[in-house]
Amino acid sequence: MEHRILGKTGLSVPSLSFGASSLGQEFRNVTLEEATRSVHVALEHGLNLIDTSPFYGRGMSEVLLGVALKGLPREKYTLCSKLGRYDLNHFDFSFKRVLESVDVSLHRLGTDHLDIILAHDIEFVDVNQIIEETLPAMRKVQQQGKVRFIGISGYPMKVFRQVLEKEEVDCILSYNQYTLQNTRLLDELLPLLQRKKVGVMNAGPFSARLLTNAPLPAWLKEPEEVKAAARRAAALCEQRGSDIAKLALQFSISHPDIATTVAGSANPVNIANWAKWAAEPIDEALLRDVRAIFAPVQNLGHLEGRLENN
């Protein structure tokens, strides 16, 4: 697995990382055996940056991940968790909760430190609170040695710019914004991130199943014209003897200035396939034709969080 440096942190991270949201049974029931095997297969294939959150499964992802990692040398993996979002509509980015949340995550994960902590989905709150209260609290736990690096995560590009204009962070995590269909992370934000030497983490190469052959979930928020283009692109890939998920993954991990792309599954077979795909060359002709299908809907997305943060 290719490794890249995450901004100014000095962390060497794999181009493809393991997302542990599925361990929280966000999409289906997951056994302890499946969770453990998924984590171990990810590490065996070089996906040694693991991303989780107390929001995933309302704590279950961190608990099962802690069980799966028990007994493994701490230096074998890089651990990223989040804080501030605890349920679909429960957000608490207060100074006090930041301190408590990090301690709870460390307990669940069975470790004495996190490599990265991110304020989770900051577009759902007043961004001024993130700047004035949340980040100072995160710096406090950083000074205590409980976390090595701090950052923010979200969907709208606007919230990253708002924070970065006033504060310094080590890294950001953006999701569904560097894919075959949506490259706003690159087009709108990357120059600012590079100027400030902020590490770039990209999650969601499959854009919530949009760029797979799986049935589209009812909760998928993308416009209908985007969904229709994705179905046409998937059909073209199938006609060419390929899989749109493979092309989507390869595309998302290919940009050298995006340190890592996070993909999640509780299916060890999927994870092994992703590692295999990551090592194979991308089909440039297919990529060109698929991106032509997406051209009329390029960068179309949806609103997320507060209206003023979009």
Q: Please give the positions annotated as active site.
A: 56
What lies within 8 Å, CB to CB, of 276 at 6+ separation is: none
Which amino acid is located at 134 in the chain? T
**Based on C-alpha coordinates, what's the Rg of the chain?**
18
**Residues 6 or more apart in contact with residue 262 via CB below 8 angstroms:** 17, 18, 19, 49, 51, 173, 175, 201, 202, 203, 204
Whole-Å CA distances, 27 to 20, 50, 153, 246, 265: 12, 18, 21, 21, 10
Could you tell me the maximum CA-CA distance found in the chain, to the nearest angstrom?
Answer: 55
The single residue listed with the structure tokens 């065996």 is 44
Closest CA to 148 of 52, 20, 9: 9
